[in-house]
Amino acid sequence: MKKEKTKNSGSKFNLFKKYNYDINRVVGIKGDEKYVLLAEKKLIRIYRGKLKSSPLLCSYIPIENAIFYSFEVEENVIGNVDLDSFIETKVYEEAGLLETEEYIIKYEVINALRDNKKTVIQCVIVPVNFINKNYEYILKETGYIDYLSFPAFAYKSLYEENILKKGNDLFIVMLYDKIFFTFYSQGELIYINTVSGGLDKIYESLKALKIANFDFDLFKKLLTKKGIDRNKYTPSEVPVLNTIENEFQSYSKIIQEQILSLIDTYDVEDIDRVFITTEYGDIPGINDMFEYQLQKKVMGFEFYEEYNLDLLPIDPFLFLAMLETHDAYKNKDLSHNFSLFLRKPTFFYRPSGILILVFIFSLIVLSAYPMYLLINGIVYNNKADNLEKEYQKLLNKKNELTKQINVLKNKTDVLKNKAETISKKINEDKKLIETLYKFKFSYLPKSQELVDITEIMNKYNIYLEKMDYKDGVFNLKIYSYNDSNIGKFIDDLINNGFNVSFDSIENKDGKFYTLIRIEE
């Protein structure tokens, strides 16, 4: 699992930040539902802005679209293997994955078994094909998704954001064909498991009652609107209520078995709280029923209550996704992020931007010495002007002393020699200034050549690793992810009049390298 470092800043100048997102504003999207979590204000609002903007953008993976696999391994093995490769091999070999399909595998290493010589690896697996297809409606608008959450990992953010106090908590989601269990102990993930047989049992039992106009939509409405709340049923509907209650009693036994197995396997004394919901929403009356049967505190999934001042109908899993996204970027840990489409860094952190910076830096370096010489030339010019003025003064003085030439002949000869020396010095300075002027402007063609070379490199996706200039030769160490691009790049240079020679192309770590020499 990779961890990505992030940085948040309130600066209006985002050009030199690596990313331009605001970690305290998270937009959650699921179909037509768009909400923004204002983390610092603990507030949720309907989002009507553009998706491609500074707030972090997230969604979540429905539980029914993931594969779960866990296995035990000796504690001493963990530190002696490449854990990512080890887990990937293990999962492909034992979890029934298709060798022809690609998967994203996120995992948690659990050191909480009663047998402390062993460790459990809890894996959540999602097909890449699912990610590519099911979030296309977001990617068409933005091109990126900052975070894709999965509920089993997202529960941790409830503790990180102080929505729940740390304890021994069992989270249960009842799906149509299975029940999904996640257990956290003191804020840490301990256990993920699924049990076959879910709400389909109730559906089939209700179908057997031959209820008029009964279909799946009516079934979902019956569960989420009436559930097992006796106050919501008429006397004629009691058989329906009894059928639903009987099935939920059987679920209660399954949950009790899971709790006993959990306590028996892991270093856990008891369960403090049980949170339960279904993939269609909370069920009225279920909390009271299970609280009586399990003798535990039972609650629903309305974790967002203190944020939901506008009383919005929020999907609890979308809220968890927003909360986890904020927490992950705040703590610089994206290890449970299923997104394959992360936001690109700002311009100067991309290869093309880096190349521009290298070019600008090179131009500054190449221009520094000529600029120094130019400044010195200006100084010498000023000196020459001053000497010229001094010379004129001496000539005037010479004329004044002509009358005394016979008397001061020796002194005149000395002054004449000095004047000649000064004149020679002026001529030498003028020649030096002309030489410096020509030298300065001789670098302009080199700068243009760099611009031309850079444009051709961008054209063929060529990346610069190192460049130097010596004795009229540019030496460029370049690489590309496609060896044919290097050949096209060299041909284009030659066609543009460059004198090019190059070494053989080497393939290293999926990149193709070569050294190119361009003579003036």
State pLDDT tens for residues 329-372.
999 999 999 999 999 875 444 454 444 545 455 556 666 667 66
pLDDT at 395: 74
- Selection from 468, 482, 465, 476 nearest residue 500 by Cα: 476
Based on its alpha-carbon atoms, the radius of gyration of the chain, rounded to whole angstroms, reads: 38
pLDDT at 428: 57
What would you measure as the largest C-alpha separation in the chain, in angstroms? 147
Most confident of 55-64, 80-89, 501-510: 55-64
pLDDT at 469: 83
Confidence class for position 21, pLDDT limits 50, 70, 90: confident
Q: Rounded distance, CA 313 to CA 308, Å? A: 9
Q: Rounded distance, CA 319 to CA 27, Å? A: 10
Token digits of residue 308 = 């939901």
Q: Rounded distance, CA 157 to CA 163, Å? A: 8
Q: For residue range 486-499, what is the model confidence (pLDDT) as tens digits?
A: 989 999 999 998 99
Query: Would you mind telling me the total number of residues written for the chain in this entry?
Result: 520
Q: Looking at residues 503-508, what average pLDDT do you find?
A: 89
Confidence class for position 262, pLDDT limits 50, 70, 90: very high
Q: Rounded distance, CA 148 to CA 380, Å? A: 67
Token digits of residue 321 = 């996704």
Q: Is the pLDDT of residue 42 over 90?
A: yes
Q: Rounded distance, CA 45 to CA 309, Å? A: 9
pLDDT at 99: 87
pLDDT at 159: 96
Do 447 and 474 form a contact (C-beta atoms < 8 A)? no
Q: Rounded distance, CA 153 to CA 157, Å? A: 8
pLDDT at 7: 38
pLDDT at 378: 80
Residue % of the chain over a pLDDT of 70: 85
- Selection from 314, 395, 419 nearest residue 29 by Cα: 314
Q: Looking at residues 392-415, what average pLDDT do you find?
A: 74
pLDDT at 11: 42
Confidence class for position 399, pLDDT limits 50, 70, 90: confident
49: which strand partners? none
Do 200 and 179 form a contact (C-beta atoms < 8 A)? no
Site of tokens 């243009």: 448
pLDDT at 426: 76
Q: How far apart are the first and last CA of the chain?
A: 49
Q: For residue range 167-222, what is the model confidence (pLDDT) as tens digits?
A: 999 999 999 999 999 999 999 999 999 999 899 999 999 999 988 888 999 999 99
Domain boundaries, the chain: 351-441, 446-519
pLDDT at 379: 74
What separation in angstroms does the CA of 327 have from each of 336, 369, 372? 11, 51, 53
pLDDT at 10: 39
Instruction: Decide which of 129 and 399 is more confident.
Output: 129
Confidence class for position 452, pLDDT limits 50, 70, 90: confident
Token digits of residue 139 = 């990617």
CATH topology of domain 446-519: Gyrase A; domain 2 (3.30.1360)
Q: Looking at residues 134-139, what average pLDDT do you find?
A: 94
Q: What is the pTM of this model?
A: 0.64
Q: Rounded distance, CA 273 to CA 120, Å? A: 23
Q: Looking at residues 210-237, what average pLDDT do you find?
A: 92
- Selection from 163, 204, 172, 158 nearest residue 286 by Cα: 172
In the chain, count H helices and then E strands.
Answer: 15, 18
DSSP string, 173-191: EE-SSEEEEEEEETTEEEE
State the burial class of residue 470 (Cβ atoms within 10 Å of its Cβ: 0-12, 13-18, 19+). Answer: exposed
Q: Rounded distance, CA 249 to CA 260, Å? A: 17
Token digits of residue 279 = 């993939």
- Selection from 257, 247, 259 nearest residue 170 by Cα: 259
- Selection from 372, 369, 386 nearest residue 429 by Cα: 386
- Selection from 434, 426, 433 nearest residue 391 by Cα: 426
Q: Looking at residues 35-62, what average pLDDT do you find?
A: 93
Query: What is the residue-averaged pLDDT of the chain?
Result: 85
Instruction: Decide which of 410 and 107 is more confident.
Output: 107
Residue % of the chain over a pLDDT of 90: 59
Token digits of residue 329 = 């970027």
Cβ of 32: how many Cβ atoms within 10 Å? 6
